[in-house]
Amino acid sequence: MSKQFPPVQGGGSLMVAWQVRQKNVLVIGGGEVAASRILHALNADANVTVICPRSGLNDEVSYRISEGQVKHIDRTFEPQDLDHADMVLSAIDDAATSTKISQLCRERRIPVNIADVPAECDFFFGSVHRDGPLQVMVSTNGNGPKMASIVRKQVAEALPEGTGEAVEKVGVLRKKLREVAPDAAEGAKRMRWISKVCDSWSLKDLVDMTEKDMNTLLKNYYELGQVPSLEQVRQKASS
């Protein structure tokens, strides 16, 4: 076969956006690393429970507890704490307990991350740039968290201003398109057309796109498979 396919590059991680909305995330520990894990989980709309003696809580974790953002269990970890956990994030300075937590989670098939112990993790945290619905993660597969942070900052600086807002507008357009063409058989056509919009319009056009523009675009051009300019859409609406 003459066709060329991408080469396999082993040693990586399967990069996914894990949906934990309303899932029970158990965080063990109350220091700086735990605070970071808690924020990641809350940003993903998870139900977070923190297990740590009150004396071990840092200011940020204490604040989130006092605000009712997370549930707090004021003691050290016990195996029964895993009974209702969908994910476990351990951030404690106790190697033996960390290993035990990892073993218990694997026995119960609960995905687990043990801070600073890559070999005992089912997944890694990367360095994340967030701009509204846009999330860009850089991972070094546990090899160099600081390097991930450096690369992430460079990536973020290279992104044009308004990228997150443009992504949000495209999301609204996609939702409207599904209402206009809900049939599953339209799936491939919907994706091709949205792709053409993203390729044809500038970032500024996408940011400037109003709901009226979206409705005009969908009503007059989707069925034809056409993608006019934003100016043409507005001319159409006013004619």
Task: Summarize pLDDT for 51-85 with one digit per residue, the tens.
Answer: 999 999 999 999 999 999 999 999 999 999 999 99
Asked whether the beta carbons of 27 and 82 are under 8 A apart, the reply is no
pLDDT in tens, 171-195: 999 999 999 999 999 999 999 999 9
Helix axes 211-221, 230-238, angle to 10 degrees: 90
116 is catalytic: yes
Whether the per-residue pLDDT at 141 is higher than 90: the answer is no
Instruction: Work out the pLDDT band at 144, boundaries 50, 70, 90.
Output: confident
Query: In which band, very low, low, confident or very high, does the pLDDT at 2 lie, cut at 50, 70 and 90?
Result: low
Whether residue 1 has pLDDT greater than 80? no
Residue 143: burial class (beta carbons within 10 Å; 0-12, 13-18, 19+): exposed
In the predicted model, is pLDDT for residue 3 greater than 80?
Answer: no
Q: Parallel, antiparallel, or unpaired for β 87-90 and 71-73?
A: unpaired
- Residue 103: what residue type? Q
Fold of 24-125: Rossmann fold (3.40.50)
Confirm if 18 and 45 have CB atoms less than 8 A apart: no
51 φ, ψ to 5°?
A: -115, 115
Tokens describing residue 12:
């990586």
Express as a percent the part of the chain with pLDDT over 90. Answer: 85
- Token couple for 131: 């701009």
Domain ranges across the chain: 24-125, 126-159, 163-238
Q: Residue 125: its pLDDT value, please?
A: 87
Least trusted range by pLDDT, from 124-133, 184-193, 213-222: 124-133
Pick the CATH number of 163-238 from 2.40.160, 1.10.3470, 1.10.3280, 1.10.20: 1.10.3280
- Within 10 angstroms of residue 106's Cβ, the number of other Cβ atoms is 13
pLDDT of residue 198: 96
Q: Which of the residues 81, 83, 116, 131 is marked catalytic?
A: 116
Give the pLDDT of residue 207: 93
Average pLDDT, the chain: 94
- The pTM of the full predicted model, rounded to 2 decimals, is 0.81
Confidence of residue 13 (pLDDT cuts 50, 70, 90): confident
219 pLDDT more than 60: yes
Give the CA distances from residue 152 to residues 76, 98, 178, in Å, rounded to whole numbers and listed in that order: 34, 28, 33
Which tokens sit at 145?
Answer: 């968290």
Q: Which CATH architecture has domain 126-159?
A: 2-Layer Sandwich (3.30)
Q: What is the DSSP string of 124-157?
A: ---EEEEETTEEEEE--TTS-HHHHHHHHHHHHH
Residue 199 DSSP SS3: helix
pLDDT score, position 225: 94
Q: How many helices (H) and strands (E) does the chain have?
A: 9, 7
